[in-house]
């Protein structure tokens, strides 16, 4: 498993109109689980093998940061990673800043881990990451006793750790699995119990994986707790296929004129399946086959067929369990009969791009009627897309969402600035082309 040399030029996608999605399709390993597996394996005593690891730019950022902190990690040629953990006391001060690239997950989770260390470390990243808000994780970590310096609430973050941290009882003001996970990691280094309450349920991979590593993660009356001093022990981890990556093909098959696709071995954790529920509410024909547990995560083959969709109202309570998939769901909305409204999704404005603005601008460029609000938008289904040029704004999920629009386009679609697709779905264009999407990837585009 080796990283290819990065090109400094722009990558664009060119999508010819039409195409169909058929056959059986694997999707890459789950990005959220891959990050968490690396970090918890580094903190565990013993050797952990991670199978199905997502070798993407984002996950590489976490892996490289842990190596800089003194953890030995070996990458296999079969999507496996071996982590030689030394327990919670074996990390060492880094000689240089830790580069998180474009990965907000890396920065927030590593900040939680570093808060409990007896040394200082700086977390930085690319221009996009340095614009994303970090105060939501900085403030509660400061309440636990860490001293954290930021640039007006954004990266770079310099974390001056403390041992032991003070325990925390904290109601998260915003539903965020990354902030929750960062505080649970910090709680491992606290003197006493740390308790967290979410305003809405978010993905629970950290809680499940802590249990797999022998940690005691408590849940009482809506509060999630962790005891400081938990000893983690190495355990094999199997990473399922990423439902967020599968979502592009779920929508693509649902909106295509002719499609019958099976996505293999995809994680169907109930805290991630909001996209499935919303697509089914729109009329999508989606079925699970062979559901079973892979380690602590439920997995299934997902079958989807071309469907007649209709507009729906997406309420604020629907948003946290489908936050990463909402851009491609808006593409489905453009192909549905009637109107779809989305509210309570202001969080999309502080992702890798302002995703509400990026989607609204792109949909309008392709002939779709859109009305926007600060926390959402209304999409009037038109059934088809005109051709045109869309700017992905360097956002992987915007690029892949508009790629699927080609299935219902009347003319070619040109998607600019798609290189960051590698942060979550390396080889996306190749995989999509094999499934039947008429896509070309243009390297070093002018």
d(CA 172, CA 184): 12
Burial label for 233, CB within 10 Å (0-12, 13-18, 19+), is: middle
**Regarding beta strands 45-51 and 237-238, do their DSSP bridges make them parallel or antiparallel, or are they unpaired?**
parallel
The strand pairing partners of 261, in sequence order, are 23, 304
Report how far residue 322's alpha carbon sits from residue 5's, in angstroms, rounded to the nearest whole number: 33
Cα–Cα distance, 258 to 306 (Å, whole number):
6
> Residue 425's closest CA among 247, 288, 301, 202?
247
> Strands, E, within 178-276: which ranges?
193-197, 217-220, 223-227, 237-238, 259-267
Residue 439 near residue 11 (C-beta atoms within 8 A): no
Whole-Å CA distances, 307 to 114, 189, 223, 368: 48, 50, 40, 20
Count other Cβ atoms within 10 Å, centred on residue 315. 11
Residue 324 annotated in active site: yes
* Cα separation values, 237 from 35, 74, 387, Å: 12, 15, 44
**What's the rounded Cα separation, in Å, for the pair 329 and 309?**
11
Q: How far apart are CA 425 and CA 323, in angstroms?
A: 17
Distance CA 433, CA 440 (A): 8
Given a contact cutoff of 8 angstroms between Cβ atoms, the answer to whether 23 and 261 are in contact is yes
| Candidate list 99, 324, 391, 395, residue with the active-site label | 324
Active site members? 324
């Amino acid at each position: 498993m080796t990283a290819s040399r990065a090109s400094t030029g722009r990558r664009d996608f060119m999508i010819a109109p039409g195409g169909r999605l058929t056959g059986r399709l694997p999707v890459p390993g789950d990005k959220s689980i891959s990050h968490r597996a690396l970090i918890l394996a580094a903190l565990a005593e013993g050797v952990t093998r991670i199978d199905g690891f997502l070798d993407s730019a984002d996950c590489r950022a976490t892996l490289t940061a842990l190596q800089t902190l003194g953890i030995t990690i070996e990458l296999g040629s079969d999507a496996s990673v071996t982590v030689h953990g030394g327990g919670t006391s074996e990390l060492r001060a880094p000689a240089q800043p830790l580069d998180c690239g474009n990965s907000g997950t890396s920065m927030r989770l590593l900040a939680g881990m570093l808060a409990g260390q007896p040394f200082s470390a700086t977390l930085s990243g690319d221009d996009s990451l340095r614009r994303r808000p970090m105060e939501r994780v900085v403030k509660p970590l400061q309440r636990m006793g860490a001293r954290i310096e930021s640039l007006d609430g954004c990266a770079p973050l310099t974390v001056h750790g403390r041992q032991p941290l003070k325990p925390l009882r904290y109601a998260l003001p915003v539903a965020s699995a990354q902030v929750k996970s960062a505080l649970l990691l910090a709680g491992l280094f606290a003197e006493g119990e740390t308790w967290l309450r979410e305003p809405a349920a978010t993905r629970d991979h950290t809680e499940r994986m802590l249990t797999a590593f022998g940690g005691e993660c408590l849940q009482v009356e809506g509060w999630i707790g962790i005891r400081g001093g938990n000893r983690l022990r190495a355990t094999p981890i199997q990473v399922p296929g990423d439902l967020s990556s599968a979502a592009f093909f779920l929508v693509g098959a649902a909106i295509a004129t002719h499609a019958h696709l099976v996505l293999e071995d995809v994680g169907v954790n109930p805290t991630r399946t909001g996209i499935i529920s919303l697509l089914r509410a729109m009329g999508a024909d989606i079925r699970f086959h062979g559901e079973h547990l892979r380690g602590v995560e439920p997995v299934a083959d997902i079958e989807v067929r071309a469907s007649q969709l209709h507009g729906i109202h997406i309420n604020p309570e629907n948003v946290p369990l489908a936050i990463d998939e909402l851009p491609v769901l808006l593409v489905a909305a453009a192909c549905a009969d009637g109107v779809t409204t989305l509210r309570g999704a202001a969080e999309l404005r502080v992702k890798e791009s302002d995703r509400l603005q990026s989607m609204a601008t792109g949909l309008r460029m392709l002939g779709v009627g859109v009305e926007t609000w600060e926390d959402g938008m209304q999409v009037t289904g038109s059934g088809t897309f005109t051709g045109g040029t869309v700017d992905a704004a360097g956002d992987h999920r915007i690029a892949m969402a508009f790629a699927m629009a080609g299935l219902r386009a009347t003319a070619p679609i040109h998607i600019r600035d798609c290189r960051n697709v590698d942060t979550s779905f390396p080889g996306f264009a190749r995989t999509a082309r094999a499934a039947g999407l008429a896509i070309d990837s243009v390297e070093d585009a002018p």
